[in-house]
Amino acid sequence: MEREKSQPEPAMTNLTSDGKPTLKTIAKLSGLAVPTVSRALNDAPDIGADTKKLIRKIANDIGYVPNRAGVRLRTGRTNVISLVMSTEHDLMSHTARLIASVASGLRDTPFHLIVTPFFPDQDPMDPVRYIVETGSADAIIMNQIQPNDPRVTYLMERKFPFATHGRTNWSDTHPYYDYDNKAFGELAVEGLVARGRKDIFVIAPPAVHSYGQHLMAGVRERGQAKGVNVTIADGITSDTPSAEVVAHVRQVLNDRPQIDAVITASTSSAMAAVAALEQYGAHVGQEIDVFSKEAMPFLKLFRADILTISELVNDAGEFLARAAIQAIRKPDETPMQKLEVPSQDTV
């Protein structure tokens, strides 16, 4: 009896010599022309959303990966956006959330994310110069912005696409997403005054960064307007290791027992402040209030009486991803900019 022949699997046509699918493979499977496939994968505005979705699905299903060297030869681009970030320890994963949200903003685009770290003892200009001089990315996203940030000056002079998480003194001329820390400082003082607090201690971000200056301006101006005493911590910031914050706040409370409120700019410094005041013998929400902003809803799980306002880090990352892409593709258009205004309602 003759053995029945099995039906062969459909052959995948138009592969490279090493068996990898190409644009022609996708074109064959979709019934579309190669130029249409290429433009869909590059998110061309004249290609419909349904067509892009179909092409991307086929590309994912067959494991298509663009040849980076070929893309660069054809377009002069790498299709890479670099997120330049410090390696400083981040207790509450603010960094991880920003990375994840930028990556989400690049999803379903031809761009890929790389993270370029720099160390606390390193010149922040080093990774920026490296990316520009080697052409290893098409755009840069960076944070910890200074008012007269030399990195921004460098990138603007070279017309290299970028977006910042924070504002410079020239923010009207470049893409950015920023949280309104001045408004947060004002709201924090307002909320504490409404609770009868009169002597406020502030653990602010480093003064070298724009957001630190903005927050300090907000608490000082509103404190003066409300007639309450506001003291900015000297010797620690919201980035200081928690053990040092605990020791410092404990000493301040010993020296100035009249303090009845603490404003902080990070989850870790808020927790450290609570630890200090509890060691001192006070209770959060009773003798002393603690008011903080946070990137994830955690503090009220730690102590329900902490007063908090949310910072939408996920929104920031996705916006910055889109802003960087626009800076690459449409450098002459008005840069994308957004200032996140904190909600009046605490959470």
**Chain centroid, CA 313 distance in Å:** 6
pLDDT value at position 76? 63
pLDDT value at position 63? 77
With beta carbons less than 8 A apart as the criterion, state whether 263 and 188 touch.
yes
Mean pLDDT over all residues of the chain?
88
pLDDT band at 2 (very low <50, low <70, confident <90, very high): very low
With beta carbons less than 8 A apart as the criterion, state whether 235 and 249 touch.
no
pLDDT band at 13 (very low <50, low <70, confident <90, very high): low
Q: How far apart are CA 248 and CA 259, in angstroms?
A: 14
Q: Is the pLDDT of residue 136 over 70?
A: yes
The count of C-alpha atoms lying within 13 angstroms of the C-alpha of 313, restricted to the half-sphere facing its C-beta, is: 18
pLDDT band at 342 (very low <50, low <70, confident <90, very high): very high
More confident residue, 344 or 133: 133
Residue type, 276: A
Choosing among 3.30.1180.10, 3.40.1280.10, 3.40.50.300, 3.40.50.2300, the CATH entry for 181-310 is 3.40.50.2300
pLDDT digits (tens, 9 = 90+) for 59-102: 888 877 766 655 655 556 789 999 999 877 665 567 888 899 99
Task: Give yes or no on whether 75-179+313-340 and 181-310 have one common fold.
Answer: yes
Within 10 angstroms of residue 132's Cβ, the number of other Cβ atoms is 16
Query: Domain 75-179+313-340 is of which CATH architecture?
Result: 3-Layer(aba) Sandwich (3.40)
Lowest mean pLDDT among 8-12, 135-139, 281-285: 8-12
What residue segments make up the domains of the chain, in order of their start?
A: 23-65, 75-179+313-340, 181-310
> How large is the average pLDDT for residues 300-322?
94
**Chain centroid, CA 156 distance in Å:** 20
